[in-house]
């Protein structure tokens, strides 16, 4: 299978490998700054709300929840909630309207954080973004309880908005996350996985929550419509899909100081991702490689080098960049307040994080 795209990999001018989290932080902070004081205020309110929700759990789970939320990313999904709402005229300019927006954005981030904790339990991961995971620091039982707590608090927060359509949007995404995880477990160590099957897993495990973020924002907007919710949801779904593809590339390309985890962690876990699928099509020896026989980091790194040598990483990147381009082309140009420009920049930030 040949995958085509048009965008090239972005490199720093001095040849050094940029830190993806720093790029992501700088990129999203620049977007928030460009969005003006209302956007910056809303994002700050979401951050405060997340800290308050996690603190209400009480010790010791509150500490684990706070650590997970802090390590969970750069608030890309909450930002999508807010930008989607602003793209449809904004929430009601009342304390109730602003509060509903903050709760919805926080709920999306809480679900995301819950999945990170549970993923780390399933994978037995020791590090996330260079920090010890909850399962590593406190054990399996504490990690499962922390993930359950975050997940339940997400829906408790969203329920306060009193809108069944909002609950349905997040519930559908959560069901997709679980289904995607089950499919990934079914495919573990498989000698052959079709690209179509892999893409379905990515849509379920990652893209669905991105889509839910924009749908929630549209539902909270005073001028929201089903058509606009569909358009923004489709945009976010493509962005989430590209995000997962590029994350899987990064697992193979590394290095650990860039990703916070050793190269080939997914391979050791038996996860068959796009780089391996494409490499198997090009190298007959890789097609017979049994992931269950990998023993330790050195063998995983050697396999990563063999995958990279086939050119599969470049093709996977091009495919992700093409998906981002599709997302940007499909975005309505008539969004108020320049929000189409900001959503374009969000798409660029996703690409630049992994470039």
**pLDDT for residue 136:** 85
Window from 52-66, 232-246, 311-325 with minimum mean pLDDT: 52-66
pLDDT above 70 (res 14): no
Mean pLDDT computed over 246-251: 93
Across the chain, mean pLDDT equals: 85
Q: What does the pLDDT read at residue 137?
A: 77
Q: How far is CA 348 from CA 24, 34, 67, 86, in A?
A: 10, 14, 28, 19
pLDDT over threshold 50, residue 85? yes
Instruction: Report which DSSP code applies to 131.
Output: E
The two tokens of residue 214 are 């924009």
pTM: 0.86
Residue 230, pLDDT > 50, answer: yes
Q: Per-residue pLDDT for 7 more than 80? A: no
Query: Dihedral (C-alpha) 28, 74, 262, 247: value to the nearest 10 degrees?
Result: -60
Give the pLDDT score at 260. 63
Tell me if 352 sits within 8 A of 246, measured CB to CB: no
Average pLDDT over residues 160-187: 95
Peptide linkage before 60 cis (omega within 30 of 0):
yes
pLDDT value at position 257?
64
**Which ranges in the chain belong to alpha helices (H)?**
20-34, 37-55, 61-71, 76-87, 95-123, 134-138, 140-159, 164-186, 195-202, 208-220, 226-253, 256-259, 265-268, 274-282, 284-287, 296-309, 312-330, 339-353
Distances (CA, A) of 122 to 110, 126, 140, 200, 347: 18, 11, 9, 20, 30
Residue % of the chain over a pLDDT of 90: 52
Q: Are 321 and 242 in contact (CB under 8 A)?
A: yes
Q: Is 163 helix (H, G, I), strand (E, B) or coil?
A: coil
pLDDT at 5 over 80: no
Is the C-alpha dihedral spanning 117, 118, 119, 125 positive or negative? positive
H/E run at residue 128 = strand 127-128
């Amino acid at each position: 299978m040949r995958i085509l795209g048009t965008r090239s990999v972005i490199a720093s001018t001095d040849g050094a490998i940029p830190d993806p989290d720093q790029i992501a932080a700088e990129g999203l902070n620049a977007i928030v700054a460009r969005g003006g004081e209302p956007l910056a205020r809303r994002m700050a309110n979401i951050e405060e709300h997340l800290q308050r929700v996690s603190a209400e759990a009480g010790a010791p789970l509150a500490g684990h929840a706070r650590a997970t939320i802090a390590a969970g990313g750069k608030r890309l999904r909450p930002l999508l909630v807010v930008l989607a709402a602003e793209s449809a005229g904004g929430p009601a300019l009342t304390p109730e309207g602003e509060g509903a927006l903050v709760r919805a954005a926080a709920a999306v981030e809480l679900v995301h954080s819950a999945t990170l904790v549970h993923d780390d339990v399933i994978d037995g991961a020791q590090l996330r973004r260079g920090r010890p995971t909850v399962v590593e620091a406190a054990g399996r039982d504490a990690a499962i309880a922390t993930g359950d707590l975050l997940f339940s608090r997400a829906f408790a927060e969203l329920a306060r908005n009193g809108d069944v359509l909002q609950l349905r949007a997040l519930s559908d995404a959560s069901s997709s996350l679980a289904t995607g995880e089950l499919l990934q477990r079914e495919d573990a160590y498989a000698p052959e996985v079709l690209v179509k099957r892999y893409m379905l897993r990515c849509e379920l495990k990652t893209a669905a929550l991105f889509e839910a973020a924009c749908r929630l924002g549209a539902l909270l907007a005073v001028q929201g419509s089903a058509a606009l919710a569909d358009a923004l949801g489709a945009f976010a779904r493509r962005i989430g899909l590209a995000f997962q593809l590029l994350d899987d590339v990064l697992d193979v390309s590394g290095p650990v100081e860039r990703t916070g985890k050793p190269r080939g962690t997914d391979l050791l876990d038996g996860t068959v991702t796009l780089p391996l699928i494409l490499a198997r099509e090009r190298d007959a020896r890789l097609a017979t490689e049994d992931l269950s026989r990998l023993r330790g980091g050195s063998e995983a790194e050697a396999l990563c080098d063999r995958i990279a040598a086939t050119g599969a990483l470049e093709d996977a990147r091009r495919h992700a960049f093409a998906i981002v381009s599709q997302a940007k082309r499909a975005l309505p140009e008539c969004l108020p307040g320049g929000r189409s420009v900001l959503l374009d920049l969000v798409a660029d930030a996703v690409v630049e994080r992994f470039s």
